[in-house]
Amino acid sequence: MNLDYIKQLDSENVIQNYARYNVAFKKGSGSLLYDTEGKEYIDFASGIGVISVGHANPHWVKAVSEQAGRLAHVSNLFYTQPYAVLAERLIKLSGMKAAFFANSGAEANEGAIKIARKYSNDKYGDGRYTIITLNQSFHGRTMATLTATGQPAHHKYFHPFVEGFKYVPPNDIKALTDALDEKVCAVMVEGIQGEGGVNPLEQDYVKELVKIISERDVLLILDEVQTGIGRTGDMFCFQGLDIKPDIVTLAKGLGGGVPIAAVLVNDKCKDILSHGTHGTTYGGNLICCAAANAVLDIVTEPRFLDQVKAKGEKIKETVKGWNSPLIKEVRGKGLMIGIQLKDLGPKKAVADLLDRGLVTLTAGTDVLRLLPPLTITEEEIEKGLEIIRDYLIKK
């Protein structure tokens, strides 16, 4: 099928809730993508930070196909080895105490919200349920996670939203302290806001936040759906921030291309969800757990994360070195990088770069976001950056 035919099928049969770019991808290999018309692209997006170990990574393909040929699904009413092994590995890597698997970032965050509220309900009774989140945050599209998302533009159409959420500006301790009344049970933040514009939280702010809320037994939920599993050059973003959250959520990069998400909890929260209080049919099915285990095999190889850090630094230094009048700021960590533009809309930039053979993403209102596969080669990085540089210079 060619692009025009696929577009026709889509426009006639698909709910049009996405404004898609004018490309249909057909196959991928490493950090390269190929469309239906045979054109090659360098992938600086990896889905949206999902293809953590590259497209069709041979180790990942082997693990997924072997598991598919052995056993795909039996439900969570039974023990399975990939589930138990993945949980053990994530617990060891994170220093958390127990894991639960879901299917998407939003679902992991739903789970985290439920755990935080039940923790508080068990210990303090009714009424202590408020979750504080940050302006410009993004936590998902289900009713509760959409409510948690601190962007008024998302709080339309779907009323009534879920009760018990409050928003404060990031990196502002006073605003946080003012919002901390006796009804608050948790604070939920991203270490680096992804969708909101690649906005890192300041280390001092995070440390102070942890101190203030832990004194009140208010839980910290760290949404690592985008930052987790090596994306920022640390296995988890919270390790780079040198803090210990109570609950961590993971999704995007964890499965390397198949839907799996995780909620990791510390000692305080490990016995909150008892039999029957939460669940999901698909969560942690064998194929997805096998995929995530294969991702971890790769990301935990010696020096793998050092390479992620080095590649990220190289990208940031290179882009800063251009001194382009169209660039306002370059920020981010590891291979999660935001180029804040001026006088150039990021949507137009992404579409133009796609024409030139490079896949990128937008973030916030004015940021070009780069989330390449963690396995991208130096040469592919150089080629991709050349495309961006040529484009910005000829503008």
Ligand X SMILES: *Cc1c(COP(=O)(O)O)cnc(C)c1O
Phi and psi at residue 391, in whole multiples of 5°?
-65, -45
Please report how close the Cβ of residue 139 comes to ligand X at its closest, in angstroms: 5
Residues designated catalytic: 138, 223, 252
Nearer to ligand X, 225 or 327 (CB): 225
Residues lying near ligand X in the complex (CB under 6 A): 104-106, 109, 138-140, 190, 194-195, 223, 225-226, 251-252
Nearer to ligand X, 53 or 327 (CB): 53
Question: Which residue is nearest to ligand X, using beta carbons?
Answer: 105
Please report how close the Cβ of residue 392 comes to ligand X at its closest, in angstroms: 26
Q: How many CB atoms lie within 10 A of CB 3?
A: 14
Edge-to-edge, what's the strand order for the sheet holding 130-134? 98-102, 261-265, 247-250, 219-223, 184-189, 130-134, 165-168
Nearer to ligand X, 30 or 105 (CB): 105
**Residue whose token pair is 């993508």:** 33
Q: How far apart are CA 334 and CA 328, in angstroms?
A: 20
Please report how close the Cβ of residue 105 comes to ligand X at its closest, in angstroms: 2
Three-state SS at 101 = strand
Angle at 230 between CA 226 and CA 232, to 5 degrees: 65
Please report how close the Cβ of residue 163 comes to ligand X at its closest, in angstroms: 20
- Return the structure tokens found at 310: 């080095």
E-state strands within 58-129? 98-102
**Among 161, 120, 156, 203, which residue's Cα sits nearest to residue 112?**
120
Please report how close the Cβ of residue 97 comes to ligand X at its closest, in angstroms: 22
Nearer to ligand X, 117 or 139 (CB): 139
Burial of 323 (0-12, 13-18, 19+ CB in 10 A): exposed
Q: How far apart are CA 377 and CA 134, in angstroms?
A: 35
Dihedral (Cα; 359, 251, 167, 19), 10-degree rounding: 40
Strand partners, 368: 339, 362
**Residue whose token pair is 């497209």:** 55
Nearer to ligand X, 67 or 226 (CB): 226
Nearer to ligand X, 48 or 71 (CB): 48
**Among 224, 203, 220, which residue's Cα sits nearest to residue 266?**
220
Please report how close the Cβ of residue 193 comes to ligand X at its closest, in angstroms: 7
Nearer to ligand X, 223 or 246 (CB): 223
Please report how close the Cβ of residue 389 comes to ligand X at its closest, in angstroms: 27
